[in-house]
């Protein structure tokens, strides 16, 4: 897994990763390894984890917008922690269209017979 895009959104910094979601255990591992370094850099805000609604990507959100050199340092820290995490893709759904059913053994004798309520 890796960070593929960094965006600023209102008062947050979004680190989009190339995976659909991040497990709770992976979130804890990121928090344990990255947040002490964030505090050492002078930031008092933490990380939260989200999934982009229509993008099928997990987002690690830093609850502030730091200077560019701090942002790149945090991105490197996150990439170092998540490099061995597996990439998870959204569940693929198979869509079936144009179905034709052909059965030569259909009983046509009673096809028009009335159905009796019981």
Q: Which pLDDT score is estimated for 107?
A: 56
Residue 21 pLDDT exceeds 90: no
With 90 as the cut, is the pLDDT of residue 116 above it?
no
Report, as an integer, the average pLDDT of 59-65.
94
Q: What is 3-82's CATH topology?
A: TATA-Binding Protein (3.30.310)
DSSP 91: P
Residue 44 makes CB contacts below 8 A (sequence gap 6+) with none
pLDDT of 47: 94
pTM of the model: 0.72
Give the length of the chain: 118
């Amino acid at each position: 897994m890796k960070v593929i895009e960094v965006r600023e959104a209102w008062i947050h910094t979004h680190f989009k990763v190339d995976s659909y979601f991040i497990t709770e255990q992976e979130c804890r591992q990121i928090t344990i390894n990255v947040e002490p370094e964030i505090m050492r850099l002078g930031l008092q805000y933490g990380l939260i984890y989200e999934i982009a609604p229509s993008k099928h990507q997990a987002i690690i959100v830093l609850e502030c917008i730091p200077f560019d050199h701090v942002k790149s340092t945090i991105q490197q820290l996150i990439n170092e922690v998540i490099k061995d995490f597996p990439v998870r893709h959204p569940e693929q759904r198979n869509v079936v269209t144009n179905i034709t059913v052909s059965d030569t053994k259909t009983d046509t004798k009673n096809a028009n017979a009335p159905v009796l309520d019981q």
